Amino acid sequence: MRILIHWLYRSSSWSRFSVGLIKSKGNGRVKTLLTGVVVAGFAATVFTQSLTLDELLFRASQSVVAYERVFSNAVAEEQYVQRILRFNGTLRRQRDLRSDMLLVQLPGAVSWFGFRDVFEVDGKPVRDRDERLQKLFLGEARPAVEQATTLTRESARYNIGEVVRTVNLPTMALTFLHPLNQHRFDFKRVDEEVIAGRPVWVVQYSEQAQPTFVQIPAGDMFARGRFWLDVETGDTLRSELVLGTSHSELLTTIVVDYRQHEAFRSWVPHSMREIYERPLESRAESIEATAIYSNFRQFGVETKESVRVPR
């Protein structure tokens, strides 16, 4: 039985996703480092004593809006390894993809739309790469929804496994923090951590509003997970998205880690880890995948709906 998970673009106040069933180590140095951590931790504690969750969520929403402005005309190279594992953990199949990950701002959209343009599969180039980009971005203008649907289908073209998916995009969970979408979720602070020297709050989220971002034929599938938010800026340093439970046919977990990019002056996706499991089947295969992002650069965006192809 194959399972389809895909992101349906909507040009209204929010985007929508859908899931369907188809089948040196000296003492001095150590002491210095430890002292630094203690001081940083003390400073973070003092700073966060007056911080409220609502204030942090507002900062997070503004960070996402600023992120859109920077990355709606950006492209990164993605090295993506997908592995199908048997029930006993042995490898059955692996696929290595190299792609350009484009973040495109479509007219009428709340946020950017991610598109994975695969140009190499298992070490072999994809011959129609340029042709597909021209058709998608340089052809005659088409309605935004139609264009987004085409992008969605193309993004999933080279995935392997019984889960046919397009939700495997590093920026997907950021959509939930958008100021037009936060009201659809409950948020709760569950922990405090330090990532890359930055104090963060771990904020748990759970989707409450209907219809949900993710749909299955039987109805709504509620998204949940966690965000690791910089307490000073609201930037997302890590995101976790979970779809399904241990009692559902499919359990999906997607974790994205971010790193600072000097040229963009922003946190950008560095890695994405995915696990797709079938909790109700004792001998079911699972899918694990890891993506690494590099070589972030700008590409030119025309007016209307056309985009210059990055070279």
Name the 3-class secondary structure at 123.
coil
Q: What is the tens place of the pLDDT at every residue in 6-21?
A: 554 444 334 444 444 3
Q: What angle do CA 83, 86, 92 make, to 5 degrees?
A: 50
Judged against a pLDDT cut of 70, whether residue 44 lies above it is answered with no
Answer whether residue 309 is part of any domain.
no
Beta strands per DSSP E along the chain: 3-8, 16-21, 73-85, 91-104, 113-121, 124-125, 163-165, 185-195, 198-207, 214-216, 219-221, 223-230, 236-243, 251-261, 266-277, 286-298
Q: Which region among 4-8, 10-14, 89-93, 135-139 has the lowest average model confidence (pLDDT)?
A: 10-14
Judged against a pLDDT cut of 60, whether residue 136 lies above it is answered with yes
Domain of 232: which CATH number?
A: 2.50.20
Q: What is the mean pLDDT of residues 116-140?
A: 73
The one-letter amino acid at 207: E
Answer whether residue 308 is part of any domain.
no
pTM given for the model: 0.80
Count other C-beta atoms under 10 Å from residue 128's C-beta.
11
Measured between alpha carbons, how far is 164 from 4 in angstroms, rounded to an integer? 4
Considering only residues 49 and 87, tell me which one the structure prediction assigns the higher pLDDT. Answer: 87
Answer whether residue 9 is part of any domain.
yes
pLDDT value of residue 68: 82
pLDDT value of residue 134: 58
Q: In this structure, what token pair is assigned to residue 273?
A: 């880890």
Judged against a pLDDT cut of 70, whether residue 306 lies above it is answered with no
Q: What is the mean pLDDT of residues 193-216?
A: 93
Judged against a pLDDT cut of 50, whether residue 272 lies above it is answered with yes
Judged against a pLDDT cut of 90, whether residue 126 lies above it is answered with no
Contacts of residue 292, defined as CB under 8 A and 6 or more positions apart, other chains included, come to 78, 79, 80, 270, 271
Measured between alpha carbons, how far is 6 from 298 in angstroms, rounded to an integer? 27
Answer whether residue 303 is part of any domain.
no
Considering only residues 177 and 68, tell me which one the structure prediction assigns the higher pLDDT. Answer: 177
Domain span including residue 235: 3-298
The number of domains in the chain is 1
Q: Are strands 163-165 and 3-8 parallel, antiparallel or unpaired?
A: parallel
Judged against a pLDDT cut of 80, whether residue 130 lies above it is answered with no
Answer whether residue 311 is part of any domain.
no
Answer whether residue 184 is part of any domain.
yes
Dihedral angle sign, alpha carbons of residues 87, 90, 92, 94 = positive
Contact in structure between 287 and 273 (CB atoms under 8 Å): no
Q: Phi, psi at residue 253, to the nearest 5°?
A: -130, 125
Judged against a pLDDT cut of 80, whether residue 141 lies above it is answered with no
Judged against a pLDDT cut of 90, whether residue 189 lies above it is answered with yes
Answer whether residue 80 is part of any domain.
yes
Answer whether residue 106 is part of any domain.
yes
Contact in structure between 168 and 129 (CB atoms under 8 Å): no
Please give the torsion angle defined by the CA atoms of residues 247, 190, 59 and 174, in that order, rounded to the nearest 10 degrees.
-20
Please report, in angstroms and rounded to a whole number, the separation of the first and last CA atoms in the chain: 39
Q: What is the mean pLDDT of residues 270-293?
A: 96
